[in-house]
Amino acid sequence: MGSSPVTATIGPSAVKLLQHLQEFLLRELSPRELAPNRSRTPPRLLVAFSGGPDSLALLWGLKTLAERWNSLTVADVGCNTAESDRSESVRASALAFDVEAAHFDHAMDPTSGARADAARSLASALGVPFWSERASPVGSPPQSAHQGREGEARRLRYDFLRQVAESRSADAILTAHHADDQVETVCLRMLFGSGIAGLAAMQPRQGNILRPLLEIRRGLVEEAIAELGLTFTEDPTNRDLALQRNLVRHRLLPALPTGTDLQVLRLADAASRARSTIERVLGQVVPWSPNEDGLPDPHSYPLSALSQLPSALLPWAMARLHRAEGHDYPPPQGAVRELQSQLDRRESLEASERPRRPLRCSAGASLLWEERQGSLYLAGPPAPIAPFTVTEEWPRTVALPRLGCRLQITREPIAEWMFCGAPRRTALSPDIDIGTTFTVRNRRPGDRVRPLGHGSLKRLKELFVNFKIPAAERDEVPLLCIEDSIAWVPGVTIGDEFKLLPRHREAWVVRLTTKGSVGQ
């Protein structure tokens, strides 16, 4: 390194960097967050530190400001902002903070360990506490369901940063993303087909994650580093064209007309403002459910309000719920469509005054949306229903304790309802002999049934999809099987070979009793 970063002669680019950082902290951090009291030390900011030029510039700037703000002397560091008019006491008591660095070694190339050591040395030279962790095993991380290798690496890095922040009682995590990173992110989102939320890309503040350099261009950062004589590490994976971001950075953007980057930034700004407006309106139309004290509880929505929401806003509402529960990614579009379908079905059942069961729907990533006392919650995966089989002689009442219901078989005269269909009861041919062996079980791979009115077998899975039986509920549907054929799939169909005929005067009636596992 060159001379001490605190005593070095500060050039114009470094001055601009410090000025921007100071204005950002004053704007984004409330006095409560940067206001130590007598019972605690100054607030702590944790920097995601790779050792590259961007994170080094950020760490140097924060360390410089921390030393100035933690001092009772108002020193001129070249930042001509409104803060210079504040008194020494305000500067010392309201703006003091500590800074630490955290480095995550992804172990994605043979030199990553040496870069981690270099990052430690850089932090030490700045007088900043340093924390690090190495991913295991060496090599590419496993593929993520969302963004492949890059997405999984990001997830691991942020998991580590959150762990360090919690263990160090850090008030915020700061990353060194700048405006050029934002351009690349917007281009990637366009290639992925993202909507407004995706095109808004990174925000200056998301919860306790801050991006102070997001409005600064890469050139200014590099000039500041050069002025200060600071050395930094080079990450060879930034040149790996197998990574999509590198393709955008090194191939796509250089091939576009001059000024495209500014247009992309304007697009991100417009999308960000549109997203803010939508989410503000969304909060008014679909408020959080009240908690026991009547205050908004950001963990569930009233289903009555959610059901009235225009379908175009439902993805926004569910993404908002996922963020509130700490998930980085919004739910898949297919899951949102299924939820919309169940909400529509719920409304139609209420309008017809027919009984219904609580809503439950897959939310992707092994998560569930489920109804509890009139509100929709995001929950973890339920305990799976293990395969079960109950074999008896016809007719017999069968208890299904795993599903909380019973199956009853009785012989009754023909009635009009038997030709209309009903989710929890059915009428089968009276030609089934007493003493015939029957089985009640849940689904198995490869199950097929000959639906009523069809001459050929169809896959049970296909029927579940066509009848909109949620995937999370399909293992709970009790199948009535006679010998080797499926005779009844509650809520879906009966086997065509077991249908009533015009000559029949009686029928075998099969009922599911007690609230259980099949839709009403």
Query: How many Å apart are CA 189 and CA 238, to the nearest integer?
Result: 19
Please give the DSSP secondary-structure letter assigned to residue 249. Answer: I
Strands 98-105, 375-379: parallel, antiparallel or unpaired by DSSP? unpaired
- For 439-476, the pLDDT digits (tens) are 999 999 899 999 998 888 999 999 998 887 877 778 88
Q: Would you list the domain boundaries of the chain? A: 12-176+211-239, 286-379, 389-513
Q: Amino acid identity, residue 447? A: D
Helix (H, G, I), strand (E, B) or coil at 432: coil
For residue 3, name the pLDDT band (cuts at 50, 70, 90). Answer: very low
For residue 30, name the pLDDT band (cuts at 50, 70, 90). Answer: low
The pLDDT of 388-398, averaged and rounded, is: 90
CB 388 within 8 A of CB 441: yes
For residue 255, name the pLDDT band (cuts at 50, 70, 90). Answer: very high
Query: What token pair was written down for 379?
Result: 């929950």
Share of the chain above pLDDT 90, in %: 53
Angle at CA 209, nearest 5°, toward 211 and 90? Answer: 80
CB 17 within 8 A of CB 224: yes
Query: How many Å apart are CA 291 and CA 209, to the nearest integer?
Result: 27
The DSSP secondary structure of 64-131, one letter per residue, reads HHHHHHTSSS----S--SGGGGS-HHHHHHHS--EEEEEEEE---STTHHHHHHHHHHHHHHHT--EE
For residue 317, name the pLDDT band (cuts at 50, 70, 90). Answer: very high
Query: How many Å apart are CA 49 and CA 127, to the nearest integer?
Result: 14
Which candidate, 84, 86, 137, 65, places its Cα nearest to that of 108? Answer: 137
Give me the pLDDT at residue 138, please. 43
| Residue 93, C-beta contacts closer than 8 angstroms, at least 6 positions apart | 35, 36
Query: What token pair was written down for 289?
Result: 């459910």
The pLDDT of 412-433, averaged and rounded, is: 90
For residue 144, name the pLDDT band (cuts at 50, 70, 90). Answer: very low
Mean pLDDT of the residues in the chain: 84
Residue 384 CA: distances (Å) to CA of 216, 354, 377, 380: 50, 28, 19, 12
Query: How many Å apart are CA 4 and CA 227, to the nearest integer?
Result: 12
The DSSP secondary structure of 260-311, one letter per residue, reads HHHHHHHHHHHHHHHHHHHHHHHHHHSPPPB-TTSSB-TTEEEHHHHHTS-G
- For 326-351, the pLDDT digits (tens) are 787 789 989 999 999 989 888 777 66
Give me the pLDDT at residue 38, please. 39
Q: Is the pLDDT of residue 261 over 90?
A: yes
* Helix H or strand E segment including 325: none
Give me the pLDDT at residue 90, please. 45
Least confident window among 81-85, 217-221, 505-509: 81-85
Q: Report the largest interatomic distance among the alpha carbons of the chain, rounded to a whole angstrom.
A: 102
CB 44 within 8 A of CB 98: yes
Query: What token pair was written down for 393?
Result: 């002689």
Query: How many Å apart are CA 444 and CA 503, to the nearest integer?
Result: 35
Least confident window among 23-37, 51-65, 157-171, 489-503: 23-37
- For 158-181, the pLDDT digits (tens) are 989 999 999 999 999 999 999 999
For residue 383, name the pLDDT band (cuts at 50, 70, 90). Answer: low
Query: How many Å apart are CA 438 and CA 321, to the nearest integer?
Result: 45
Q: Amino acid identity, residue 201? A: A
CB 334 within 8 A of CB 321: no
The pLDDT of 279-296, averaged and rounded, is: 87
- For 427-442, the pLDDT digits (tens) are 999 999 998 999 999 9
Q: Is the pLDDT of residue 33 over 60?
A: no
> What architecture is domain 12-176+211-239?
3-Layer(aba) Sandwich (3.40)
Please give the DSSP secondary-structure letter assigned to residue 100. Answer: E
CB 6 within 8 A of CB 67: yes
Give me the pLDDT at residue 237, please. 84
Residues forming a β-bridge with 134: 105
Residues forming a β-bridge with 390: 440
CB 288 within 8 A of CB 298: yes
For residue 147, name the pLDDT band (cuts at 50, 70, 90). Answer: low
Query: What token pair was written down for 472?
Result: 């999370």
| Residue 35, C-beta contacts closer than 8 angstroms, at least 6 positions apart | 43, 93, 94
Give me the pLDDT at residue 419, please. 86
Which candidate, 332, 197, 203, 209, places its Cα nearest to that of 277? Answer: 197
Q: Is the pLDDT of residue 148 over 80?
A: no
Query: How many Å apart are CA 443 and CA 476, to the nearest integer?
Result: 8
Q: Amino acid identity, residue 495? A: G
Q: Is the pLDDT of residue 37 over 60?
A: no
Query: What token pair was written down for 433?
Result: 């002999």
The pLDDT of 394-417, averaged and rounded, is: 89
Q: Is the pLDDT of residue 114 over 50?
A: yes
- For 205-230, the pLDDT digits (tens) are 988 899 999 999 999 999 999 999 99
Please give the DSSP secondary-structure letter assigned to residue 154. Answer: H
Query: How many Å apart are CA 140 and CA 144, to the nearest integer?
Result: 11
Q: Amino acid identity, residue 112? A: S
Q: Alpha carbon 506 to chain centroid distance? A: 54
Instruction: Report yes or no on whether pTM surpasses 0.85.
Output: no
Query: How many Å apart are CA 130 and CA 121, to the nearest integer?
Result: 9
Strands 360-364, 300-302: parallel, antiparallel or unpaired by DSSP? unpaired
Task: Tell which wins on pLDDT, 244 or 147.
Answer: 244
Which candidate, 119, 218, 136, 207, places its Cα nearest to that of 165? Answer: 207
Please give the DSSP secondary-structure letter assigned to residue 193. Answer: T
